[in-house]
Chains A and B, each alone.
Chain A
Amino acid sequence: MSEPAFPSTWNKESKPHKFCPGCGQSLALKILGVAIQELKIQNEVLFATDIGCSLLSWDMFNLESVQTHHGRTIPLVRGFKLARPETIVIGFIGDGGGYAIGAQHLLNSATGNDKITVILINNANYAMTGGQLAPTTLLGQKTTTTPLGRKIVQGHPFKGPEMLKEVSFESAYLARGIASNYQELLKMFKKALQNQIDGRGFSFVEVLAMCPVNWHLDAQESLDFSEKEMTKIYPLGELKCPEKLS
């Protein structure tokens, strides 16, 4: 049997990776690694991670990498990019980091059209701390802090790309993909990076990702929940794509 095709950006010394079995985040990261490899920007990328499950990727890649505080990945890469503009900066964050504790940074980077690429994992819960309510938790979805299911009084599911569409520049790239669709997500990641390489605008990809452990579902059920239930609220596709990228 041949070896599985890992991207050249994969840091083999840190494998097996630290994510739970069946986690969608590790799939998304592998696809990100492929995107970086195909764009041949391995030596130019700064990969920055947040707190939460995203921090488990701190040594995932053969890339210059830094792990920061919860919600603060975006300002850190913004500062890095300003100081060293030739870097291709990637902020890898979760739905807490982007839509709750660091929402002001995401919003302001979009309105300021920072030339950075942000990849946000939406797994509809706070996974690292054991499955609490997230801004992205679906109505009716049970979490440890909404044991009877999320009710509307606890807020409605947060639609990040849709919000950013309203405030970002026309040169921004905004998309929502899903970890289980390799080809589509790869295209989105490459565009989100190319948009920064071209110095065009702010780039953002939200990735729907399975979280079997905290959803208390098996592999197939998790796949179904992300593909069938989550996509009803969080439709897949590009929300903004500059002409030159498409």
Chain B
Amino acid sequence: MTKEFLMGNEAIVRGAIAAGAKMMTGYPITPTTEIMEYWVKAGEQRPELKFSQSEDEMAAGFAMLGACLAGVKAFSATAGPGNILMQDAFSMAENMRIPTVSFINQRGGPSTGTVIYSQQELNLTCFGGNGEGLRIVYATANVQELYDYAIKAFNTAWKYHFPTFVLADGYQGKTQTMIEVYEPQEKQLEIVASQPFLFHPQREKGKFQHLRNTYNQEEELAELLENHCRYFEEVKPEIVEYEDFHTLDAKVVVFAFGIVAAAAKQAIENLRQEGKKVGLFRPITLNPFPKESALTVTANKKALLIIESALGQFERLVKANLYGIDTKIIPFQKPALGFTPEEIVEKINEILKK
């Protein structure tokens, strides 16, 4: 275990290597480009690390699928318009339960938008594609978590076989700071092994796999999806993660994720020092959403404040999961703009005064 001064995008690469990733596919896009640059640099010392810079994000996505089918832990990284193109591959990953790992550093949208920050890729990352959103999405809040969840994402993907995402933003990706770098075994973290979908070493001689994502019969597809959904529901309790910060006695509970949650946490610490009863509920998995825990913290509160750097994507997700509660819900939203702890303090004080 060492302390190292790393950029967020480098922390992702270090975490991926620690998790056993052997291949990256991608197309450069701000604010993720350094991920492929650090990967290529790491490959100079480790020839087993493979890399494919492709002609576009569709190709990057499908090359990643090809590698996963061969049983290699592969990943990609993208943002904004690239995230849109890569949905083509993610949709196939969902249908065929291919354990892709993708790092999404959100940038401003819609369209080309801005290049560094937003929380507008929540819908796309959690529910993009022409399917049911059978994906696992971790939302990190700082550079340390980029390392931690890079490791976790590969384990989750290869354990449960759902496309898995680490959803961050350009601020996290570009921040340079001290983090703790460790080998998984130092923390008793077991690394899940990858298995090939095709050319399995134990395959029976004369038997061949025919994998597909197209079905002739509506019933065939429905059955497949019902099985996928049933399994997703079954393993949900093992997957969901959240951070609860002083919600128990809080009058106002903030709901926020990612870097906004980090700002909210600072605001709450400041307010707590003044003796004000406020708390934070931060879903770490946006999909599956920690619904039961979220419902628990809303009991007997004056108000819930939902903060996000988008116009209602997170609010809709939270409301859908909290459906039926009568606590007042107040949204606080800025499209593709960040929040300071100070403005969150101000907003909470307004609510407490009312």
Q: Enumerate chain A interface residues (CB-CB to B < 8 A).
A: 11, 46, 51, 55, 58-59, 61-69, 71-72, 74-84, 87, 104-105, 107-108
B208 interfacial by beta-carbon distance below 8 Å = yes
State which of B23, B196, B199, B212 has its C-beta within 8 Å of the C-beta of A82: B23
Given A55-B214, A66-B211, A67-B211; A75-B70 close (CB under 8 Å): no
The dominant DSSP class at the A interface is mixed
Kindly report which residue of chain A lies nearest to residue B64, judged by CB atoms. Answer: A79
B199 engages A87 (CB within 8 Å)? yes
CA distance A82 to B52 in the complex (A): 8
CB-CB under 8 A from B206, the residues of chain A are 62
CA distance A81 to B70 in the complex (A): 9
State which of A11, A51, A82, A84 has its C-beta within 8 Å of the C-beta of B214: A51
B67 engages A80 (CB within 8 Å)? yes
Number of A-B contacts (CB under 8 A): 121
The dominant DSSP class at the B interface is mixed
B23 engages A83 (CB within 8 Å)? yes
Contacts beyond the supplied A75-B54, A76-B69: 12 A-B pairs with Cβ under 8 Å: A58-B210, A62-B206, A62-B208, A67-B214, A68-B213, A72-B61, A76-B65, A82-B23, A82-B50, A83-B23, A84-B72, A108-B59
CA distance A51 to B198 in the complex (A): 20
A67 engages B212 (CB within 8 Å)? yes
CA distance A58 to B56 in the complex (A): 26
Q: Enumerate chain B interface residues (CB-CB to A < 8 A).
A: 22-23, 25, 50, 52, 54-56, 58-67, 69-72, 74, 88-89, 91-92, 196, 198-199, 206, 208-214
A63 engages B208 (CB within 8 Å)? yes
CB-CB under 8 A from A107, the residues of chain B are 55
CA distance A105 to B209 in the complex (A): 25
CB-CB under 8 A from A105, the residues of chain B are 55, 58-59
Q: Which of A11, A79, A83, A105 has the most CB of B within 10 A?
A: A79
B62 engages A68 (CB within 8 Å)? yes
Task: Write 28 A-B pairs (CB below 8 A) sorted by A numbering.
Answer: A51-B214, A55-B214, A59-B210, A65-B210, A65-B211, A66-B212, A67-B211, A67-B212, A67-B214, A69-B88, A69-B89, A69-B91, A69-B92, A72-B89, A76-B62, A76-B69, A78-B54, A78-B59, A79-B65, A80-B66, A80-B67, A80-B69, A80-B70, A82-B23, A83-B23, A84-B72, A105-B55, A105-B59
Kindly report which residue of chain B lies nearest to residue A55, judged by CB atoms. Answer: B214
Given A69-B88, A79-B65, A84-B199; A108-B210 close (CB under 8 Å): no
Q: Which of B58, B66, B72, B74 has the most CB of A within 10 A?
A: B66
B62 engages A69 (CB within 8 Å)? yes
CA distance A66 to B52 in the complex (A): 21
